[in-house]
Amino acid sequence: MSAVPPPSSTPQQPLEPLELPQLGAEIDEPCLRADAARNRARLLEAAALLVAERGADGLTMEAVAAAAQVGKGTVFRRFGDRTGLLTALLDHSEKKFQAAFLSGPPPLGPGAPPAERLRAFGIAMLRRTADELELQLAAEPCADRRFTSPPRRVLHHHVTLLLR
């Protein structure tokens, strides 16, 4: 039994590109009927206006239902609970941000050197966090899950890819 020792200096293998998890793959809704899509859009618009006026802490399902002129049950059926509603509000913003850094113009999007992209990403991330901090904190189900949600995993993988 003779084992061949490994070579003393192995050439570095190129790193495999990371596959980014798809945001919302498990939470996106299937194709909605036209009236359901309109109701969802009205509910989100009403919720966004209420958050702008009262802050995320002042958002209630009852207030959203009244502002959208639907029954409270409609809001609960569509979003489940207040956290689901807040999460849906953030979802649109997150999808726009992901589109910007995955396929938008440089330096945030592809086409710029990784160091420039990383700097642009950091600035955009800080700006977005500052703008939406109250909403982001209110939408968190609990602090220990802060960095394990699909959107956070996408951001983590993007930074890891740029650093590689």
Six token digits for residue 137 = 């904190």
Is 44:88 a contact under the CB 8 Å cutoff? yes
Q: How do residues 35-94 score in pLDDT, each as one tens digit?
A: 888 888 899 999 989 998 999 998 999 999 999 999 999 999 999 999 889 989 988 788
Q: How do residues 19-40 score in pLDDT, each as one tens digit?
A: 433 443 334 455 778 888 888 8
Is 98:104 a contact under the CB 8 Å cutoff? no
Q: How do residues 43-59 score in pLDDT, each as one tens digit?
A: 999 998 999 899 999 89
Residue 4 zone, left/alpha/beta (φ > 0; ψ -120 to 50; rest): beta
Q: How far apart are CA 36 and CA 86, in angstroms?
A: 18
Name the more confident of 142 and 110.
110
Residue 143 amino acid letter:
A
112, β-bridge pairs: 110
Q: Which of these CATH numbers, 1.10.10.10, 3.30.460.80, 3.40.50.620, 1.10.10.60, describes 33-80?
A: 1.10.10.60
For the whole model, what pTM was predicted?
A: 0.62
**Contacting residues for 57 by C-beta, under 8 A, at least 6 apart:** 134, 138
Q: Where are the domains of the chain?
A: 33-80, 83-164
